Amino acid sequence: MLTISFDELEEALAAGEAPAGAAEVHGSLCGTLAATARFDLDTWVATILPEHRGGDDTLRTRNLLARLAEETQTALTSQDMDFEALLPDDEAPLARRVEALAEWCAGFLYGVGTGGLRPEDGAVPEAVHEVVRDFGEISRASIDAEESEESNEASYAEIVEYLRAGTQLAYEELEAHRAGGAR
Protein backbone atom coordinates (compact mmCIF):
# COMPACT_ATOMS: atom_id res chain seq x y z
CA MET A 1 0.00 0.00 0.00
CA LEU A 2 1.27 3.46 -0.89
CA THR A 3 1.99 5.95 1.87
CA ILE A 4 2.34 8.76 -0.67
CA SER A 5 -0.81 10.64 -1.59
CA PHE A 6 -1.71 11.78 -5.07
CA ASP A 7 -1.72 15.42 -3.96
CA GLU A 8 1.67 15.08 -2.23
CA LEU A 9 3.29 13.70 -5.37
CA GLU A 10 1.50 16.20 -7.59
CA GLU A 11 2.86 19.10 -5.51
CA ALA A 12 6.39 17.67 -5.42
CA LEU A 13 6.42 17.15 -9.19
CA ALA A 14 5.23 20.71 -9.77
CA ALA A 15 7.90 22.06 -7.39
CA GLY A 16 10.54 20.00 -9.20
CA GLU A 17 9.24 21.35 -12.53
CA ALA A 18 8.46 17.88 -13.86
CA PRO A 19 6.55 17.91 -17.16
CA ALA A 20 4.21 15.10 -16.04
CA GLY A 21 1.72 14.80 -13.21
CA ALA A 22 1.37 12.23 -10.46
CA ALA A 23 -0.95 9.86 -12.30
CA GLU A 24 1.17 9.71 -15.44
CA VAL A 25 4.36 9.28 -13.40
CA HIS A 26 2.92 6.41 -11.39
CA GLY A 27 1.56 4.77 -14.53
CA SER A 28 4.96 5.01 -16.20
CA LEU A 29 6.57 3.51 -13.12
CA CYS A 30 4.17 0.55 -13.14
CA GLY A 31 4.66 -0.07 -16.87
CA THR A 32 8.42 0.15 -16.50
CA LEU A 33 8.46 -2.21 -13.52
CA ALA A 34 6.31 -4.71 -15.40
CA ALA A 35 8.43 -4.68 -18.56
CA THR A 36 11.97 -4.09 -17.30
CA ALA A 37 14.26 -6.82 -16.05
CA ARG A 38 16.59 -4.46 -14.21
CA PHE A 39 14.78 -1.36 -13.03
CA ASP A 40 17.18 1.55 -12.62
CA LEU A 41 15.80 4.28 -10.38
CA ASP A 42 18.18 6.96 -11.63
CA THR A 43 17.27 6.31 -15.26
CA TRP A 44 13.56 6.42 -14.47
CA VAL A 45 13.89 9.61 -12.40
CA ALA A 46 15.89 11.22 -15.22
CA THR A 47 12.90 10.78 -17.53
CA ILE A 48 10.73 12.69 -15.06
CA LEU A 49 12.84 15.50 -13.66
CA PRO A 50 14.58 18.08 -15.83
CA GLU A 51 18.34 17.56 -15.82
CA HIS A 52 19.25 21.20 -15.37
CA ARG A 53 17.43 21.53 -12.08
CA GLY A 54 18.87 21.05 -8.65
CA GLY A 55 18.12 22.30 -5.20
CA ASP A 56 15.85 21.29 -2.39
CA ASP A 57 12.66 20.91 -4.45
CA THR A 58 14.31 18.54 -6.90
CA LEU A 59 15.97 16.55 -4.12
CA ARG A 60 12.67 16.26 -2.25
CA THR A 61 10.91 15.15 -5.43
CA ARG A 62 13.64 12.63 -6.23
CA ASN A 63 13.40 11.16 -2.72
CA LEU A 64 9.63 10.94 -3.01
CA LEU A 65 9.96 9.19 -6.39
CA ALA A 66 12.43 6.72 -4.86
CA ARG A 67 9.96 5.95 -2.09
CA LEU A 68 7.14 5.62 -4.63
CA ALA A 69 9.21 3.15 -6.67
CA GLU A 70 10.02 1.06 -3.61
CA GLU A 71 6.45 0.99 -2.34
CA THR A 72 5.03 0.22 -5.79
CA GLN A 73 7.50 -2.61 -6.36
CA THR A 74 6.57 -4.05 -2.96
CA ALA A 75 2.85 -3.84 -3.75
CA LEU A 76 3.28 -5.49 -7.16
CA THR A 77 5.26 -8.39 -5.72
CA SER A 78 3.08 -8.84 -2.65
CA GLN A 79 0.99 -11.99 -2.33
CA ASP A 80 -1.72 -9.82 -0.74
CA MET A 81 -2.59 -8.23 -4.11
CA ASP A 82 -2.69 -4.80 -2.47
CA PHE A 83 -1.54 -2.82 -5.50
CA GLU A 84 -3.41 0.42 -6.12
CA ALA A 85 -2.96 3.01 -8.84
CA LEU A 86 -2.05 6.45 -7.53
CA LEU A 87 -5.10 8.52 -8.44
CA PRO A 88 -6.95 11.47 -6.89
CA ASP A 89 -9.08 10.77 -3.82
CA ASP A 90 -12.76 10.04 -4.27
CA GLU A 91 -13.55 13.55 -3.00
CA ALA A 92 -11.95 15.09 -6.11
CA PRO A 93 -14.31 16.06 -8.92
CA LEU A 94 -15.12 13.13 -11.17
CA ALA A 95 -13.81 14.97 -14.23
CA ARG A 96 -10.38 15.31 -12.56
CA ARG A 97 -10.38 11.65 -11.51
CA VAL A 98 -11.23 10.50 -15.04
CA GLU A 99 -8.54 12.76 -16.49
CA ALA A 100 -5.98 11.29 -14.06
CA LEU A 101 -7.13 7.76 -14.92
CA ALA A 102 -6.48 8.46 -18.61
CA GLU A 103 -3.07 9.96 -17.77
CA TRP A 104 -2.19 6.93 -15.63
CA CYS A 105 -2.92 4.58 -18.52
CA ALA A 106 -0.93 6.72 -20.97
CA GLY A 107 1.97 6.63 -18.51
CA PHE A 108 1.69 2.84 -18.17
CA LEU A 109 1.87 2.44 -21.95
CA TYR A 110 4.92 4.71 -22.06
CA GLY A 111 6.59 2.68 -19.31
CA VAL A 112 5.88 -0.61 -21.06
CA GLY A 113 7.37 0.78 -24.27
CA THR A 114 10.50 2.18 -22.63
CA GLY A 115 10.85 -1.03 -20.64
CA GLY A 116 11.60 -2.92 -23.83
CA LEU A 117 8.27 -4.72 -24.17
CA ARG A 118 6.82 -4.68 -27.63
CA PRO A 119 3.24 -6.00 -27.58
CA GLU A 120 3.63 -7.09 -31.20
CA ASP A 121 6.38 -9.51 -30.11
CA GLY A 122 5.20 -13.09 -30.18
CA ALA A 123 6.56 -13.77 -26.69
CA VAL A 124 4.13 -11.38 -25.01
CA PRO A 125 1.26 -13.28 -23.37
CA GLU A 126 -2.21 -12.66 -24.83
CA ALA A 127 -3.45 -11.43 -21.43
CA VAL A 128 -0.85 -8.65 -21.55
CA HIS A 129 -1.86 -7.76 -25.12
CA GLU A 130 -5.42 -7.38 -23.87
CA VAL A 131 -4.41 -5.20 -20.91
CA VAL A 132 -2.28 -2.98 -23.16
CA ARG A 133 -5.13 -2.61 -25.67
CA ASP A 134 -7.60 -1.82 -22.89
CA PHE A 135 -5.28 0.69 -21.25
CA GLY A 136 -4.90 2.34 -24.64
CA GLU A 137 -8.67 2.75 -24.77
CA ILE A 138 -8.83 3.98 -21.17
CA SER A 139 -6.14 6.57 -21.96
CA ARG A 140 -8.83 8.31 -24.02
CA ALA A 141 -11.48 8.14 -21.27
CA SER A 142 -13.90 10.96 -20.62
CA ILE A 143 -17.14 11.46 -18.77
CA ASP A 144 -20.25 10.36 -20.63
CA ALA A 145 -22.46 13.46 -20.67
CA GLU A 146 -25.46 11.29 -21.57
CA GLU A 147 -25.17 9.28 -18.34
CA SER A 148 -26.10 10.27 -14.80
CA GLU A 149 -23.48 11.22 -12.22
CA GLU A 150 -24.21 7.96 -10.41
CA SER A 151 -23.68 5.92 -13.56
CA ASN A 152 -20.44 7.72 -14.36
CA GLU A 153 -19.23 7.14 -10.79
CA ALA A 154 -20.02 3.43 -11.07
CA SER A 155 -18.21 3.20 -14.41
CA TYR A 156 -15.20 4.99 -12.96
CA ALA A 157 -15.06 2.59 -9.99
CA GLU A 158 -15.22 -0.42 -12.32
CA ILE A 159 -12.43 0.93 -14.49
CA VAL A 160 -10.23 1.68 -11.47
CA GLU A 161 -10.70 -1.90 -10.30
CA TYR A 162 -9.87 -3.19 -13.80
CA LEU A 163 -6.78 -0.99 -13.82
CA ARG A 164 -5.66 -2.48 -10.50
CA ALA A 165 -6.27 -6.06 -11.59
CA GLY A 166 -4.90 -5.51 -15.11
CA THR A 167 -1.67 -4.01 -13.81
CA GLN A 168 -1.19 -6.85 -11.36
CA LEU A 169 -1.92 -9.39 -14.11
CA ALA A 170 0.50 -7.76 -16.55
CA TYR A 171 3.21 -7.68 -13.90
CA GLU A 172 2.73 -11.36 -13.10
CA GLU A 173 2.42 -12.47 -16.74
CA LEU A 174 5.63 -10.63 -17.68
CA GLU A 175 7.73 -12.38 -15.05
CA ALA A 176 9.32 -14.61 -17.73
CA HIS A 177 10.01 -11.54 -19.89
CA ARG A 178 11.77 -9.82 -16.99
CA ALA A 179 13.68 -12.99 -16.08
CA GLY A 180 14.88 -13.23 -19.69
CA GLY A 181 16.93 -10.10 -19.14
CA ALA A 182 15.07 -7.77 -21.44
CA ARG A 183 16.00 -4.15 -20.96
For the chain, the structural domain boundaries read 6-179
For Cα atoms 113, 115, 118, give the angle at the middle one, nearest 5 degrees. Answer: 45
- Which has the closest alpha carbon to 134: 157, 108, 98? 108
Residue 58 is predicted with a pLDDT of 77
What value does the mean pLDDT of the chain take? 90
**C-alpha–C-alpha distance, residues 72 and 36, integer Å:** 14
* Amino acid type, 28: S
pTM of the model: 0.92
**Main-chain dihedrals φ then ψ at residue 39, nearest 5 degrees:** -65, 130
Q: What is the pLDDT of residues 47-88, one digit of tens each?
A: 898 765 566 767 889 999 999 999 999 999 998 888 999 999
Does domain 6-179 correspond to CATH entry 1.20.120.740? Answer: yes
